[in-house]
Chains A and B, each alone.
Chain A
Amino acid sequence: MLELKNIAWSLPGGEEIIKNIDLKLDDGKLIVVTGPNGGGKTSLAKLIAGIETITSGQIIFDGKDITKLDVTERAKSGIAFAFQQPVRFKGLCVHDVLNLAAGEELAELAACDLLGKVGLCANEYLNRELNSSLSGGEIKRIEIATVLARKAPLSIFDEPEAGIDLWSFSRLVETFENLRKQGTGTLLVISHQERILNIADEIVVIANGRVRTAGPREEILPSLLQGEVAPFCPYGKEERK
């Protein structure tokens, strides 16, 4: 279980980006985090992965206080994170990165299986370099595959849908559903997509650095969708006044 205890994060200049967030993520659940652009979703994910450090509060993971652990240590303790904007490398190919993620030399079949989960064919991609020659949707799907390769107790995906075609997106939704059914790890998916919200166990809405609302999908989703055609998200900054 991941527990965020009253966490906050301010920029060096003093601006508070994440404000007193309390959250509990139960094991084996699929939790979808949504909310308006700039609300603090990516910041929250980075704080969990240790890429940024909270300025106050406490993070407990599997009963251990991981607040002081750095990125590497958090990764080793079982947290995986798929970046919203994937990183490109000159000289590392898809197979290399999948191996690093899995922590072992993946046989071609295993690598093929992982890429299949994001709708990519291993024959075409395993030896491709992760450089600027890959399209936006391709590199995004490879990024997701690296996190799947880690088979971590907690996997965080930051807008996995971004830039992905319809067919691969369907495949991805199916993959998330399967992972959820297996229940081997907790999935934290940041998303704006209804199809992903639809398979959530729980939904957390983050706006203006705070949790606006959180709870089981059945409770949260109907009210979220009501605002679907509104000029602004009902939980957005406009509401703050």
Chain B
Amino acid sequence: MNDITKELLSMISDFDEKFDGAFNIREDSSCAGRKSTENIKIENKKDEPGIEIHIKPGTKGEKVYIPACVTHSDVDDLVYNDFYVGEDADITIVAGCGVHSDGEEDARHNGIHRFFLEKNSHVLYEEKHIGVGNGTGAKRIDPVTDIYLADDASMEMDTVQLSGVDTSIRKTSATLGARAKLIVRERIMTDGNETAKTEFEVLMNGEDCAADLMSRSVARGNSYQEFLSTLNGKNRCTGHSECDAILVDNGTVNAAPALEASHLDAALIHEAAIGKIAGEQILKLRTLGLTEEEAQERIIQGFLK
């Protein structure tokens, strides 16, 4: 594992020379370390690049790390990772991706993740994306996430992308069984000429399933963000999506939350708010002794926390 990978790992996870638990480290399209545990088996896929992660039924409280790093330009990494989470398991998956570019060519990671959660299992999925390095080549991260929740399964997805990724397109789709629950918390900040696009599509098939999508974003400089979400209620269910965006400088945000219901008892709500930081918020912090810039940074920091 090279030094850039080590540095990226410490930025996107709690890596400190090692991981506690099962892990697979991907570095520039190859494997830089792997460990399976008694309950969590990680193995190569046979027909395409990527891994399969099998979590035994009933596994509780374990963590699995699957970070991916691109450490230089001219890497276009494409990987397919599948997670099979057994019945009643309750685990944390720490993903995350760091992209470092040092030349003119693009550095890109494209991770296609599929999650199959069996009955009554629960996954907390944490993912942090970051771009670093002075190369002129674009730093790109384009994650695709497909989630299948069996009856009573639940998944919480916590994603953060705060700096340095030039373009990203994130596509997340989920299919929910009866009483299944999906919670997504997304935080994005773009600056300069960066663009970030997120697309969610949730099929709410099972009776009494629930989905809650919360996106908070800050667009600074000349950056551009797009938020598209579709909640599709096909049964008695509750769905909520919320996009809250702050504009700074000449940032642009386009939010288009969509709701589709084909069942009388589907209760779907969406909220979207875009605007600059309220002047009175800045003023209040200034009366506490902060400068205008400090006040703005503090408000953004809290908003994206």
Contacts and interface: CB of A to CB of B under 8 A. Distances in A.
Interface of A: 49, 51, 70-72, 75-76, 80-81, 83, 86-87, 89-92, 96-97, 100-101, 103, 146, 150
Most buried by A among B284, B292, B301: B284
Chain B interface main SS type: helix
Contacts of A83: 284
Interface of B: 216, 244, 278, 280-281, 283-292, 298-299, 301-305
Given A91-B303, A100-B288, 11 more contacts: A51-B283, A70-B286, A71-B283, A72-B291, A87-B280, A87-B283, A87-B284, A89-B281, A90-B303, A92-B298, A100-B290
B299 A103 contact: no
Contacts of B289: 72, 75-76, 100, 103, 150
Contact of B287 (A71, A91, A92): A71
Given A72-B292, A87-B278, A90-B244, A51 B287 contact: yes
B286 A71 contact: yes
Contacts of A71: 283, 286-287
Nearest to A85: B280
Most buried by B among A70, A90, A97, A103: A90
A89 to B, nearest CB: 6
A89 B298 CA distance: 11
A81 B305 CA distance: 27
A100 B287 contact: no
A74 to B, nearest CB: 8
A100 B292 contact: no
B302 A96 contact: yes
Given A51-B283, A71-B283, A91 B302 contact: yes
The 9 closest A-B pairs by CB, nearest first: A91-B302, A91-B303, A75-B289, A87-B284, A71-B286, A92-B302, A72-B286, A101-B288, A87-B280
A61 to B, nearest CB: 15
Contacts of A86: 284
Nearest to A150: B288
Given A51-B283, A71-B283, A100-B285, A89 B302 contact: yes
Nearest to B302: A91
Nearest to A81: B287
Contacts of B288: 75, 80, 97, 100-101, 146, 150
18 contacts: A49-B287, A70-B286, A71-B287, A75-B288, A80-B288, A83-B284, A87-B280, A87-B283, A89-B281, A89-B299, A89-B302, A90-B244, A91-B303, A92-B298, A92-B302, A96-B302, A100-B288, A100-B290
A62 to B, nearest CB: 16
Contacts of B244: 90
Nearest to B289: A75
Contacts of A76: 289
A136 B149 CA distance: 41
A106 B292 CA distance: 23
Contacts of B280: 87
Contacts of B303: 90-91
